[in-house]
């Protein structure tokens, strides 16, 4: 359930960033594709559509994503994507075959770079913003 919620939230965050964050929008330039995150058993799947500098998300499996990341199960997917060092967790998961990549691996690297724009602001930065206001 946590993984399903995380994938839904990821879609919402990317949709918002694609409307409001110029740095995020720059990463979307020239991209017109669909990618998917799912569990290997197919119980949880969500695909994300990148088109015209916007991101939208839909539930379920897409018939032809540019790339797909399959996680062993929802618990593992949630733990990997929320780990303190997600790049290391991804690398270990791929080596252990707990994560499977289908499609273009270069786009997986692009996706990992995209996710860094979704991190919440640090508390110190938020405190400075409050002081400035």
> For residue range 2-21, what is the model confidence (pLDDT) as tens digits?
999 999 999 999 999 999 99
Each residue's pLDDT tens digit, 70-129: 999 999 999 999 999 888 999 999 999 999 999 998 998 899 888 888 876 655 455 555
- What's the rounded Cα separation, in Å, for the pair 70 and 55? 20
Segment 40-67 mean pLDDT: 95
| 45 neighbors 52 (Cβ within 8 angstroms) | no
CA 8 to chain centre: 10
pLDDT at 124: 45
pLDDT at 51: 95
Q: Which of 73, 112, 107, 74 is nearest to 91 (CA)?
A: 112
């Amino acid at each position: 359930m946590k993984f399903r919620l995380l994938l839904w939230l990821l879609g919402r965050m990317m949709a918002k960033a694609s409307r409001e964050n110029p740095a995020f929008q720059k990463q979307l330039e020239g991209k017109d594709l669909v990618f998917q995150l799912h569990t290997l058993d197919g119980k949880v799947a969500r695909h994300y559509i990148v088109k015209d500098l916007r991101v939208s998300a839909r539930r379920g499996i897409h018939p032809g994503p540019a790339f797909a990341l399959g996680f062993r199960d929802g618990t593992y997917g949630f733990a990997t994507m929320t780990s303190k060092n997600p790049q290391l967790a991804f690398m270990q998961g791929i080596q252990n075959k707990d994560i499977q990549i289908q499609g273009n691996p270069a786009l997986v690297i692009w996706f990992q770079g995209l996710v860094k724009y979704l991190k919440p602001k640090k508390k110190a930065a938020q405190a400075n913003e409050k002081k400035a206001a």
